[in-house]
Chain A
């Protein structure tokens, strides 16, 4: 019975204007994301090839990951060149800071498509699941046939879900296949596993927003109102909560501005140089150079030790606030899986800091010896899950269950008049 209702839902919609226009939209966006993502990845790869670590050079740079085509996240920051001088770790501008338009708009990667557009399509496919039949008058007819309400609502849900998720899966697999066949994309088994998890996460995410539409459809009796309400929930989850929480997180956990960090480092440096020169004038053959470097190193370490915990605290607060919305949780989860997220950012910076600690003296020729080659392996899927990913999964599953259960229960007591 459920299956015949689902089949009816699919047949009713598959030749509809809605299905074709939304599938075209999805296909268009996927194509754009693949093209743009690949071009962007190649630029980073090119940069990496120029700057990659050579034996005995203190170049610190992380290899770009092809997963950035799925979720770009902080990849542009992660793959910059870190340089070590007596002043500590310095960062070279990333390629995108040159073009300031990058910082004005969001990134059109596959994560964006899933988080924003797939959710929108799921909502647009389900907001009228019940109201439409009611307006058309077919709801009474259907219910007059001795069918159980639970079968009806489950069938409807399944049908609408399939209509959204099957085209998406096809397009996603196509995109995945295209990317894996492109030159300079190194395909490993973890590439497939990570994408499988991304697909699973989008499946639950689609279920969630189908549930949202169905739930709204079962509490509101007019399609036009139901659409506005569903779209408001979509807007709340996708834009308002995640973006507002970054502002609120910053109010809750104040962090120093980059101008302040820059100033403190700069003034410390000038002071150390000045002191050295003044002392050398009195005592030209002294060990002032070494003393200065030590002084600089101390002040850099002090600033790092003072500010990094604050930054990490801000990231934790932001993550928790963002997770109030399932879309925010998805954002965190997918970027973490793609190794371009906040988790990777902290992990990579830790690795860089440790590397510099081990090699600082040798890089600055304070002691003889070869400089270690900088190597960095990004977090594995298992590591991401046990460290942070499980929370996001729980959040998304919780919201999905909540809305689906609410829609189910609400329809059982629905007034079909």
Chain B
């Protein structure tokens, strides 16, 4: 019996001109945004390889121990899912004086934006008259004069509406995806299919939540005019207001110290203070073990080399001093970094708390949960940084181990070699980011997807209960 109702809903919607128009608009938009963003992805990919090669060539040519961390900064490959999910735009961080301000000014229209704004509106507009419309037309009475339980009717409306919403949407997305795979020549791996499936599923969950919301207001109103106003009111609050105010509210509720102040403080600890401490302690070392320091400072490198070659006692003392000096620099660096890290860590903890608060506040809206889930599934969201930090940190460790080893080897052969001298690092290990596996992505989106499911349940239960008590006259 349910399927009779579902089929009728489907047919009724499909014969409806407004609905068809909206679907065509949505499909055209989804496909065109995918096409444009794929072009941008290609460009960024080329730029990315270009950068990696430039930096690699630089290290090959100028590599030295002292600034190896600064030299080999790791780049993040542009996300493969950028044609669908732009996510946290790193240009919006505006780290550079020359950064492009447009992402802060206006957001981009990607698949996520289309689903979150456009498809939710379509869902609400489709659902708002599902019950009131039939009451106004007088069909509801005829339908209820049959021996059909109201439960079946409301379920049939929900399922039928959801299918009408999902089928054309899925067609549009598949069209866009096939463009990515075929026309744009992006080679798809099994992980990609998994991510696309997740994106589709959470889009479904998101749209059904709004369909249930529209149905709820339809079951709570006498006329479609009132139902649409109530639905749009809720839509504006859930889509346009709640997510947007959440970070601002969080910043008001949970205050954190000024970033600029923290940065100044840590900068001072790590450079000015450090230099001062090193200078003082160097004086002590020089006085105690290496009085010739003043003389060698005025020598050229070749003169020093000559003296080292000719005077083995000096050579030993020089090596000893150098070791002591390096130890000192290392110790002071470690100590100063520890102090600065403690400050940074406490600050990061605080900002993390603020972000968490903002996330929780935003989670009151289905839109935020959808955005969180979509961006995290595509590994461009709030949780993507942790995995990146882990892997790039590990690489930094491996690289510095390799560099230290190479340095020690070279020093063995040539004691005058110091950490500002060119070091051949062509055999260094290279970085390759391993994208988080599907299981990890699923784990990340568990909470937002769960909350989306809760919204579905809540709105549908509301619609269900209201319809059971709906006055059909």
Contacts and interface: CB of A to CB of B under 8 A. Distances in A.
A and B bound? yes
Interface of A: 17-18, 21-22, 25, 29, 32, 36, 39-40, 43, 46-47, 50-51, 73-74, 76-77, 80-82, 88-108, 112, 116-117, 120, 124, 223-225, 227-229, 231-232, 235, 239-240, 242-251, 254-263, 265-267, 270-271, 273-274, 277-278, 281-285, 303-304, 307-308, 311, 314-315, 318, 322, 328, 331, 335, 341-342, 345, 349, 352
3 shortest interchain CB distances as A-B pairs: A243-B109, A98-B351, A228-B18
Most chain B Cβ neighbours within 10 Å, of A25, A50, A95, A250: A250
B405 interface: no
Most chain B Cβ neighbours within 10 Å, of A248, A267, A273: A267
A90 to B, nearest CB: 7
Interface string B98-128: 1111111111111001000110010001000
B29 interface: yes
B214 to A, nearest CB: 13
B136 to A, nearest CB: 10
B236 A97 contact: no
Interface of B: 17-18, 21-22, 25, 29, 32-33, 36-37, 39-40, 43-44, 47-48, 51, 54-55, 58, 62, 64, 67, 70-71, 73, 75, 88-110, 113, 117-118, 121, 125, 129, 133, 224-226, 228-230, 232-233, 236-237, 240-241, 243-252, 256, 258-261, 263, 297-302, 351, 354-355, 358-359, 362, 368, 371, 375, 382, 420-421
Grouping DSSP codes into helix (H, G, I), strand (E, B) and loop, the B interface class, with mixed when no group exceeds half, is helix
A18 B101 CA distance: 39
Given A100-B355, A314-B100, A240 B263 contact: no
26 contacts: A50-B261, A74-B101, A74-B104, A81-B260, A94-B94, A97-B94, A99-B354, A101-B359, A108-B248, A120-B232, A225-B18, A229-B18, A229-B21, A231-B125, A244-B32, A246-B109, A247-B109, A251-B36, A257-B47, A258-B99, A262-B73, A274-B62, A274-B67, A314-B100, A314-B102, A328-B106
Contacts of A311: 98, 100-101
B75 A259 contact: yes
Nearest to A267: B58
A51 B264 CA distance: 10
A101 B381 CA distance: 9
Nearest to A341: B105
A257 B94 contact: no
Most chain A Cβ neighbours within 10 Å, of B71, B73, B224, B240: B240
Contact of A103 (B88, B121, B420): B88
B109 A239 contact: yes
Nearest to A81: B260
Nearest to A61: B260
Given A77-B101, A257-B47, A262-B96, A92 B260 contact: yes
Given A232-B21, A235-B121, A266-B70, A315 B101 contact: yes
A272 to B, nearest CB: 11
Contacts of B382: 100-101
Contacts of B33: 244, 247
A47 B258 contact: yes
A257 B109 CA distance: 19
A96 B256 CA distance: 11
A116 B420 contact: no
Contacts of A331: 106
Nearest to B109: A243
B173 to A, nearest CB: 17
A98 B102 contact: no
Given A50-B260, A282-B300, A314-B100, A99 B64 contact: no
Given A74-B104, A247-B33, 19 more contacts: A36-B248, A77-B101, A77-B104, A89-B97, A90-B97, A104-B88, A104-B371, A108-B240, A117-B236, A231-B121, A235-B121, A247-B108, A259-B48, A259-B51, A270-B67, A318-B105, A322-B106, A331-B106, A345-B101
